[in-house]
Amino acid sequence: MLALYLAQIVNSGLALGAVYGVMALGFSLIFSASRLINFAQGELLLLGGLTIMSLAGVMQLPPAAALLAAAVAGFLLGRTLFSTTLGLTLGATPLRQLMLTVAASLVFQGVAILCWGKNPLMPPRLLPLPDLRLGLFFLGRDTVTALTLAVAAVIVLGLFLGRTRLGRALRATSQSAVAARLQGVDTVFCHALSFALAGALASLAALAVGPQTGLRYDMGLGLGLKGFAAATIGGYTSLGRVFAGGIALGLAEAAMVLTVSGEFKETAIYVLITILLVAAPREHDERP
């Protein structure tokens, strides 16, 4: 019986944790480049997922094309968010910029309601990956899909940041924007790039979470808060630790669903998040 509980926790926890981990990577990218928390990250996931669902339905996209379209759609949404909010107020106070992201999230939610309505929508499984059995543990196809997308995102993002000129410019901006400007780096472009990449990550996360829970107009806030919590747990500095923070949060949530109650899941997980955020080391809030 215990082994069965553990197997269920691992299967459900990894599926959710992979989504939280990808969302956390987006929070980490923007915070590192701009020292901002983007509370519209969850709505980027929602709009990206709904856009791809509609495109896939109309154009009958194959899996590879759907992945590329999701990344491009998210990239453009993130770039649009920066151009219409933070890009116009780069010298504003952090509180004003933070509230702009909150306002943008409500606008994006309104756009989703106008275009797709309030009823939950179930997107198709665009990546037809099979179930996987590892010893006693059984990973369903949704879990395999979420993990595959998440691990691929971590690897590609790591290679981009470490091996490309643009990635090094983004890292230089995150370490010191003033020093980066003195070295000829266009820091405004790097800020915009961080938002665009975070949008692409959110859109890819939508491909993972959509077939699990469906896409609903009010789902962005919850996913965004959990992604933010995962990024804080991971410390913002390392892609691996940030992703691991998402996995840990997903496993904790799955354990609560099975051991406490599904009805109290949200309350219990937000209590846990509050405890973790209060207990997080102060350097996580200072500088990546």
Residue 170: inside a domain: yes
Distance CA 31, CA 236 (A): 8
Top mean pLDDT of 53-57, 115-119, 130-134, 261-265 is at 115-119
Residue 285: inside a domain: no
Report the pLDDT value the prediction gives residue 1, as an integer from 0 to 100.
67
Residue 203: inside a domain: yes
pTM over 0.95: no
Distance CA 227, CA 30 (A): 13
Residue 263: inside a domain: yes
The answer to whether 125 touches 145, Cβ cutoff 8 Å, is yes
Amino acid at 94: P
Range of weakest confidence among 4-18, 24-38, 106-120, 123-137: 123-137
The CATH number covering residue 222 comes to: 1.10.3470
Structurally, the chain folds into a number of domains equal to 1
Residue 23: inside a domain: yes
Residue 4: pLDDT above 70? yes
**Average pLDDT estimate for 123-142:** 82
Residue range of the domain that includes 268: 1-278
Report the pLDDT value the prediction gives residue 281, as an integer from 0 to 100.
58
**Average pLDDT estimate for 185-194:** 92
Residue 48: inside a domain: yes
Report the pLDDT value the prediction gives residue 287, as an integer from 0 to 100.
44
Report the pLDDT value the prediction gives residue 263, as an integer from 0 to 100.
66
Residue 54: inside a domain: yes
